[in-house]
Structure 1
């Protein structure tokens, strides 16, 4: 039976518990209550050894009481407004305490006068009973002349003194362990009317202790807070939150569910049965402080953006398969990835992008978060949140030791809590829905365009602070080096769904001093639908972008689609149409595959269904047969295209990004779901013919890229004299030919030749009129290849006049996306140099980058019927070619141009630059 403190309105008073605390001393353990009718109560709580001492002093000078009649404390102890009283036995109660019977059963103790007008009582409580609330009213028994009297607070409620439950602090949010072992709890909820802190004992399905936080004592502004002397005996916690139920306000309060603290650092292990109760707890915080971790002097690699080679992986899928050879306890966890760090090193990767690792709804997948602060327990050995945290730190430390940065995919656009049609109240929905989610003027959820049920209110000041706090936690606690924000359009969305020109969140992240060296990448494509959001993303020269246009344009060209020369060329040289805004090519994260879409093997194996919107936007081509086949002719064409994709990726300006499984030809059988069950790394295939070849090709391309940083790892765009476009004929790209699917470019490393003395007979070469740097969009000039011999070409201006070669020789890169072989004319290499073939994707990988490459000598002077005076090359269908101009070695074994070579004239150049 529910015990009540008085026989009148105590129950209702306690349900709206609001003690009139008008003053609070600095120590946080002394409270002043004003009595309805005059006077006041001074309450103090102190701890002595194993007990709490509660002292109450009642000033009765203003009270209308009979001084000859005893004044009683009518009291009891409780832990929430829904639990029974905690009554003391005779040995534990103060002297002369009696038990009032009937429905008003409570303890009644006389309060003795300590000095005129002041009555005092001291109560000793076993510390093991804490935390509790001491509820009381003042009672004077009736006499022959005066009826009984009850004295309550000025709010007509019971007085309530927290014992072992301090007032606490509103900052920081979450559960914070103090040096003395106490724990501070703080929860933001602007619209809540009441908050109950729920504590669970090990194995308990329902809360073992519930502490009703008093608004007058435990609320500062919009933050509810309390401090416990100890949480010994409890292992989990959560909150019940009460408030107005009317949905038109945008709130979704319900007093029954126990909600996850948004700032919880660990998610507690699930206790079966807790989700089936009338008061379900779908997720709870773990009462566990951060454990010390020996970072052993860990320091971030700080790889310059333009030097990054990134690899995107799914922590669970990377080692979940038995073929990984990882011990069962570590498979699919952070520790499993630790065992495979050498695989990343062998490929030359210097950055990994981990798909979302914050706690998520495991039925929906990693892109549906339930927490922004806690690592997913599933990635820790034994499913432990604490183990997940510890092993993530170990993984970061080991990757840093190998010179590899750690970037995280993060999702702040939505959560797993759904909407009103399909609700799943875990945390924020029940805490303060109108603050954390976008709702319309009718209080209904705004459904975003990226295929989920709710939209996070990212630019609300409180939500913005929470996001920045979570990013800081990943950096400070886990040493993370950067973040890729999925559905980044949500970061620039205002509270009414409008696009903001200066969003609070994006600016805060860009200028946060703690995040000054952290890489920030905006991904405007939805991992759920695969659709790119057309958002003008502000960057403050800090934000990079996940370049979805690179993926689309490169796929469309390489599959042989006409009219793509200009777009393809723009992507090869750094997507200046996107990043020519005080950034540069190093801010472009280039990729031809991603977890949400076709894999490298699938993009050459599936065209998809004509009416399937997602398949249409994957721009795949199946080489004539849909799906996996064993036909050698088909498989050869597909593997050739896969190699061509990789060559394009690594020879483009910007950051190349591989997706887990690209290195062996992983297939999801055309499935486009980001959480497809086939997204498991099959380590056995790494040893197969295709796997060993692709991994070797990637490693060689990475090494080649690093050997040519001045051309392939640039902070700035290529200058006009460093880039020449070619078609079948040197310097004659077919920009206006819609059927052309061939493009080549030569990259030059030259510096101006020092001008001669004024008295010499030097005659300057004609100056090339060109912009200050290379174009990012290709001119629309018609330059079809002539049908005659090379001497029929129009008069050309030499773009390399007055320049001398330095460092490595020129590079020539060609892509034939036609279904037929083409014959291309080679441009002139620097004088004294010879073109060497380094790679041809129609040939076996073992022939790539072998030694100095194979020399391609031009026809001898005067040879009859020479169409291409500097040599030609037959390039197979769907293939790419890479050449390097190499000079003879000197006596010291070093290749360098001689003095005579410095007046070299390069290939004819007839492209008008007026359109650049």
Structure 2
């Protein structure tokens, strides 16, 4: 597109921020409280040659703005900001550095690493206090003015209720890079995400939402490039409004919208993993790409009295300053943009505790949480927090405000340790199965607030949890020191790959048991992509830099007999969760409430069908447990849905006596013998390292069934003694 040839910009408007086309021209608006001058730089269509510079003629309420007549979508641009170069006081203006618009909606590509990207002279004795005068434009990506028009076809978002949600965490690129049934140019792109065969796989599993690792444009960090590695996960955001160019192929941003539309058409929601806690610019020794050059002292949290340095609650070199209203506005505008322009259904907030920090520390009533919860658009989406960071008081599981769900790492660790055979884990498992009530049953929160997972992108895959005792991260180039050192894993006899049939059978049993635990617990289940067929990362538990087959899903494993069998098992467990109301409690209730005589909402028993008492809970050796749950049937309130979960975490089979009253039980799931479907009598045997679910129905004889005495303690494990 030819560049406009006018000499100066018209005043334009300070809102909306970013570059906005009205058909007759483009309005540009960018925030900087401390700049003294702002230049708009216009480039040729390929972003290689700077054709014109224009001063933004107006600054209103610290927003610089101007209007370029006759400009159209497709225009390529960047900014140069003038102002004080005073790092000791937090100001790092350098007009020699081309800056990305924080609101850019499409980028020309990625940065090319060169010393000119840094605002200071590399190797200078004064380090970041020096000033580098080289032009960074040749090495910088540029913003592209975008026309957001897209035909959504009138399709409505699925809007699956939280209690029926099953999340599938996946990497957009890694899911398809080893798909041999796709042409190579399509692999790793949003087009592959929209492929009907992949969507059919999700449908057969029964998942209701995909949670995509970051799709915001991100930086390939120089320290990884120097080691011949790549930023695979994408937790190094370069722009909060633009999708990662490498994921779009030739289709541009519309290819991602097409994928979301097709997923919605299949009834599958799309949740984005978003990183607003830090940016890719890192510490004071990082590059100057956008926010640092536009207004470092506003966009980032700086150490009081030592404003040269950054508060680093994230471990990534900097912390975004959400206490500043314009910075908070940027994050809220970004979230609204993705919900409206891309029809996204929810967000998972990386290091969510950082976002909720005020001057005094983490605050569930922080400006960030309050702004989202009062927003008529964002408050309707699914909101998930990673409830920790590395700052003071950084572990805040269970302390987020209502409407937010949280990743429950205590579920992860408790389930891994129980099925590994650790002593004294029966109580922790019971808490996990019943929705982690002690963490989330407050402020009228619901069980779905607990996002239950055993594996996620960060850590071992499920196949590796049962195959490796130690991490094997040598490929990361950090001498195996990176990644979690304690994974609560076991190799069951041999480290890594093996041909021992007994070990393989044991690993398969434990995988099925853990998957069933996720899907049969109260809360929101989350599966890691590939766990449904046994995908491995060869023992790497920190594959953030492995953009290669270590991280990519191996669809040959999925096609193997073992992979297909495990996938069928997962689909069966998801189907049971969908079919049985007692497996997806919508709210915390009085677990001792009798819905009909003899059947309370929840009751715990030992293997001999005795109610669990305090001594039983404190027995560290016993690994057998029964959980009976009762709920009103979804379709007929006169009928009760009853399930009985029999858990055997030991190494030997256990004979379970079934509790009173006697019901017409059927075996609905057996992780030890997946094909088992018999009707038990008064007892049933559960194999080692396995769980079994029995299903039955009961008449709700009277809506005024005799009350059951309430327990003295609210812990769901102990309430069963009164059932």
Aligned-residue offset at 1:586: 1.6
Structure 1 residues 530 and 297 mapped into 2: Cα distance closer, same or farther (>3 Å)? farther
Of structures 1 and 2, the one scoring higher in RCO (CA 8 A, sep 6+) is: 2
Q: Secondary structure at the match of 1:598?
A: coil
Q: Secondary structure at the match of 1:433?
A: helix
Query: Conserved in 1, the CA contact under 8 Å of 2:462 and 2:511?
Result: yes
Aligned-residue offset at 1:750: 7.2
Structure 1 residues 241 and 903 mapped into 2: Cα distance closer, same or farther (>3 Å)? closer
Q: Hey, what's the Cα distance between the residues in 2 that align with 1:717 and 1:628?
A: 46
Query: Conserved in 2, the CA contact under 8 Å of 1:201 and 1:234?
Result: no
Q: Hey, what's the Cα distance between the residues in 2 that align with 1:236 and 1:580?
A: 51
Query: Conserved in 2, the CA contact under 8 Å of 1:585 and 1:715?
Result: yes
Residue aligning to 1:482: 346
Q: Which moved more, 1:672-681 or 1:555-564?
A: 672-681
Query: Conserved in 1, the CA contact under 8 Å of 2:105 and 2:144?
Result: no
Aligned-residue offset at 1:550: 1.1
Residue aligning to 2:569: 697
Residue aligning to 1:715: 587
Query: Conserved in 1, the CA contact under 8 Å of 2:11 and 2:65?
Result: yes
Q: Secondary structure at the match of 1:298?
A: coil
Which structure 2 residues correspond to residues 63-462 of structure 1 after superposition, within 5 A? 130-132=5-7, 162=8, 165-179=9-23, 181-203=24-46, 205-213=48-56, 217-231=57-71, 235-269=75-109, 278-281=134-137, 282-323=139-180, 325-339=181-195, 340-362=198-220, 363-365=230-232, 366-382=234-250, 387-421=251-285, 423-440=286-303, 441-462=305-326
1:205-231 CA distance string (max 9 Å, x none): 342211233xxx421231111111133
Structure 1 residues 898 and 728 mapped into 2: Cα distance closer, same or farther (>3 Å)? closer
| Residues matched between the structures, number | 660
Aligned-residue offset at 1:510: 1.1
Q: Secondary structure at the match of 1:810?
A: strand
Aligned-residue offset at 1:648: 0.6
Query: Does residue 538 of structure 2 align to residue 666 of structure 1?
Result: no
Structure 1 residues 128 and 287 mapped into 2: Cα distance closer, same or farther (>3 Å)? closer
Q: Hey, what's the Cα distance between the residues in 2 that align with 1:874 and 1:644?
A: 16
Aligned-residue offset at 1:328: 2.2
Query: Does residue 670 of structure 2 align to residue 840 of structure 1?
Result: yes
Q: Hey, what's the Cα distance between the residues in 2 that align with 1:233 and 1:701?
A: 49
Aligned-residue offset at 1:577: 1.5
Residue aligning to 1:745: 627
Partner of residue 604 from structure 2, selected from 725, 734, 756: 725
Q: Secondary structure at the match of 2:298?
A: helix
* Structure number, greater radius of gyration: 1
Query: Does residue 495 of structure 2 align to residue 626 of structure 1?
Result: yes
1:833-866 CA distance string (max 9 Å, x none): 33322222222x3x15xxxx31112xxxxxxxxx
Residue aligning to 1:119: none
Q: Hey, what's the Cα distance between the residues in 2 that align with 1:659 and 1:819?
A: 27
Q: Hey, what's the Cα distance between the residues in 1 that align with 2:51 and 2:261?
A: 39
Q: Hey, what's the Cα distance between the residues in 1 that align with 2:719 and 2:37?
A: 70
Aligned-residue offset at 1:713: 4.2
Aligned-residue offset at 1:498: 2.6
Query: Does residue 693 of structure 2 align to residue 885 of structure 1?
Result: no
1:177-198 CA distance string (max 9 Å, x none): 123x211111101111221111
Q: Where does the alignment leave 5 or more consecutive residues of structure 1 unmatched? A: 1-126, 133-161, 752-803, 858-869, 887-895
Q: Hey, what's the Cα distance between the residues in 1 that align with 2:45 and 2:558?
A: 45
1:302-341 CA distance string (max 9 Å, x none): 1110010111110000111143x12222211111011111
Residue aligning to 1:587: 449
Residue aligning to 2:225: none
Query: Conserved in 1, the CA contact under 8 Å of 2:47 and 2:142?
Result: no
Q: Secondary structure at the match of 1:521?
A: strand
Aligned-residue offset at 1:716: 3.4
Aligned-residue offset at 1:807: 3.0
Aligned-residue offset at 1:128: 8.5
Structure 1 residues 685 and 467 mapped into 2: Cα distance closer, same or farther (>3 Å)? same
Q: Hey, what's the Cα distance between the residues in 2 that align with 1:705 and 1:882?
A: 11
Query: Conserved in 2, the CA contact under 8 Å of 1:429 and 1:436?
Result: yes
Residue aligning to 1:603: 465
Structure 1 residues 247 and 537 mapped into 2: Cα distance closer, same or farther (>3 Å)? farther
Q: Which moved more, 1:594-603 or 1:812-821?
A: 812-821
Residue aligning to 2:552: 680
Q: Where does the alignment leave 5 or more consecutive residues of structure 2 unmatched? A: 118-133, 221-229, 473-479, 593-599, 712-716
Q: Hey, what's the Cα distance between the residues in 2 that align with 1:233 and 1:410?
A: 26
